[in-house]
Structure 1
């Protein structure tokens, strides 16, 4: 599925709609260039899970945990250089647990991503405007 958004608010809304549909045990992989709107999308996704807490990108902590209708485990794999780093934080407990995982920069660790993960790509197209985004959601790795 592909969605076009023309503003930050619309990108947030797409995240919200997908978050409302998320189920415990699912892993969502979020990919896109720096500044494309992954964190904005993540904020909407969390809101869709009933999370009212302020959402930030876990760039330096690797993972942030939030409580809503079900737990959200928000990962940022941008700085991961070795899969052993994920082993140390027990990533499998999150990926195969009772919450929902949202993994930014999942393409950096694709070898540990479950095969049934959903992949979300966010891309800009400046020819269509500064705030234009195309959001693609697929059942397989993009």
Structure 2
């Protein structure tokens, strides 16, 4: 019985060693599982932080683009308003130029008419001077046949 006792004791010690090894293996597996879970949770947390940063960056970018679009629209409206003003000023300038051209044309016609009138008056004066000279010559000729006036050259 001693030998069976010893075998039994050896078996118990071996069993206890195996149970201890099994428990140690379970603990190692459990710890490995916890480390893997912790690592996965840490990675997931890092991904969440990264995702939140990307979302924030995207939101800021969208906000910036929205502001830029608003500024572009505002600038387009300002450009359109300035173009409208420029067209209106061009139209007013063109109207003023047409009026000046009309006034200039009228003044040129008036000046031309006045030149004609002056030339007509000069021609009339030359004709009158010729008639007066002729009458004066006849009068002097009737007073004294030897008295005559020099030939008068009248320019027109």
Q: Relative contact order (C-alpha < 8 Å, sep 6+): which is higher?
A: 1
Establish whether TM, by shorter chain, passes 0.5. Answer: no
TM range (shorter): under 0.3
| TM-score computed with the length of structure 2 as normaliser | 0.13
Bigger radius of gyration, 1 or 2? 2
Structure in which a larger fraction of residues adopt strand: 1
- TM-score, length basis structure 1: 0.13
